[in-house]
Structures are given as structure tokens and as C-alpha cells.
Amino acid sequence: MVVHGSENSMKAFQAQSLDSINDYKLVDLPAPEPTGGELRIAIKACGVGYVDALVALGRYQVKPPLPYVPGIEVAGVVDALGPEAKGFKVGDRVLAMGVGGGGFAEQGLFSAFMTMKIPDALGFAEAATLRINYITALYGLRDRGQLKAGERVLVFGAAGGVGIAAVQIAKLLGADVIAAASTEEKRAFAKAHGADHLIDTNPEGWRDRLKAIGKVDVVFDPVCGPLFEVAFRSLAWKGRHLVIGFAGGGGKIPALPANLTLMKGSALIGVDVRQYTIFQTAEYNATLHELLAMIAEGRLAPVAGKRFSFAEARAAMQFALTGQGLGKTVLEIP
């Protein structure tokens, strides 16, 4: 059972090294005080994705400074404001992003500029899945992939956090959606959230099964595993293959013969929401506003995956690494 910190302290999961998930311990830290344009948020939920777990273990392209508290995507309640933080008040329900981590804690400091109020109908767990996965899906499919209504989208890893977001967003954009996933349970999950067609990921005979469904205009690929090149070869003329991540490559980055892009008139396009945040901050915030409006209008219902208690933070990271979750894993903080 987790014991809360005192008025001037808080509990957080922190590690002094990135060698093992077991290095993360529940520690007492001073309660942070907001300055300038910062908000202090009493964190109620934190998204835990595959990349979050990689960062926590030092296996991502950007290594965090030590000591490190994982978690960048949070939802909670504003409980203190810096003197220059405008547009918020204590008690506001918000979602925020801590670029340097800090989400596996009872409290955290976040820029008011990168914090947004959430609709009353949106739970904290669901809000903690929105900022990364759903922006990746909307930015990737619409802005990078130029997806048009009536086109067909193939989503790999369709039951995962970013995959299920892509299924939902593609349907909102008017696409015909093929959900690719490794188990019947995962495919049923994708079907329940809007997928029109289902396909397993067994490589044997896979392209023939895809041909039976039809040509693909856009591939949304957070896996980039054994079917990477086969999927690109299956694109229609002027198709677009969106590279979201490499969850299924076993550490190996797949290669693609350059002549295929010429033969297919197709494009291989990278989608990096981290750099979108850095280089196109205004557009990033506008995309988030769009998503929140979709939720408020009842057009979009974000999906939270398996939930872990604060005391189970290490287990939450281990589970996120397995890729077996349906939707994005969430750490709930009392």
C-alpha cells in the first residue's frame, strides 16, 4: 500500500541508474514549488508506453539525466500556480506533458503553455493516453500521410496504444481500416473500436490475405517488423508508408530497396511526434485542441488500457515492454 507524502514532501518512483526496472524505488522527494509560468499538478494518471519503458532503461535514442522519475504524459488536478501561469486555477482538471519525465509521482511541475484543461466527461486514465498516441495518429495520418476520405489504411499493432488511436482517427477521417494484429483477442479489440477488416500477422501467406481485402493507400506502422517490406510492396500507386516506431524489429531496423519507391510511386514517411512538439509547437497544440473538441462533441472516446496502481509502477513498465496490452497502459496515482 502506498503511503502519501507529507504536506511538504511527495512520493515518487525514482532510479539512480538505468540498468534495470528493479532499480526504481519509491522515494520521498520535496514537494515541488512552481515558479514563473509553471503549474503544480496533483497527478492522478500517467500513460506508460513502450517508449517510456525504453527511456527508463536507457535503451532509447535520448537518455534521461539521473536520478530519473519516468513518465511524461499525465492527467490530474492543478494544486498550485506560478506567478506567471495564466488561464488556470487551483482545482482545474488538466492534462500535461513533462518532457524530462516526472510522471511517476504524486505531484509534478509542468509548463502552463503545454497544459490543457480536459472535458468533464474525460476520465484521468483516458486523458493520460491522449497527448502522445492520439496526436501521433492524427498528425501522422492527416498531416504526414495526407489521408483522404475513402482511402484504405493498414494499421500494424492495431491493438496497442498508438495502433488503436490510429484505428479510431482513421475512421473519423473517413478511411476504410484494416487492423493487423497477432492474436484473435487483439483483432477483436480493434474491431470493437472501428476496424473494418482484420488480418493476422503470420508472415506465411500474408500478402495474399491482404490482396483479398484490396489495395492499401496508407500504412500506419509502429512495428516495422518482418512484414515491413511486404506491406510497402502492397501499397497502391502513390501510397504512403508511415514509419512510427520499431516495436517489432527486435532491435533491428528494417531496410527498404530504394527502387521500390520509384516503382510504386510511393513514399516512406517518418512520423516523430517528439520533434513535432519541438519544431512545430503551435501546430502541436492546435492538434491537441482539435482532439479535445472531438471528445467534447462525443466524436472520439480515447481508450485506456490495463491500469496499474502506484505501488505497481515497476510492473506497469514491465507490462508495457511486452507489447501485449490492449490500448495504452496507465499508472493510476491516488
Please write the tens of the pLDDT for every residue from 226-247: 999 999 999 999 999 999 998 8
CATH number of 9-129+303-332: 3.90.180.10
Residues 6+ apart with CB under 8 A from 207: 230, 233, 234
Please write the tens of the pLDDT for every residue from 125-143: 999 999 999 999 999 999 9
Please write the tens of the pLDDT for every residue from 252-306: 788 888 888 888 899 999 999 989 998 999 999 999 999 999 999 999 999 999 9
- Topology (CATH) of 132-272: Rossmann fold (3.40.50)
pLDDT confidence tier of residue 2, bands split at 50, 70 and 90: very low
Q: Which three cell numbers stand for residue 48?
A: 506508460
Question: In which residue ranges of the chain is CATH 3.90.180.10 found?
Answer: 9-129+303-332
Question: In which residue ranges of the chain is CATH 3.40.50.720 found?
Answer: 132-272
| DSSP 3-state percent helix, strand, coil across the chain (nearest 5) | 35, 30, 40
> What is the C-alpha to C-alpha distance for residues 36 and 44, in angstroms, rounded to an integer?
23
> What is the C-alpha to C-alpha distance for residues 104 and 333, in angstroms, rounded to an integer?
8
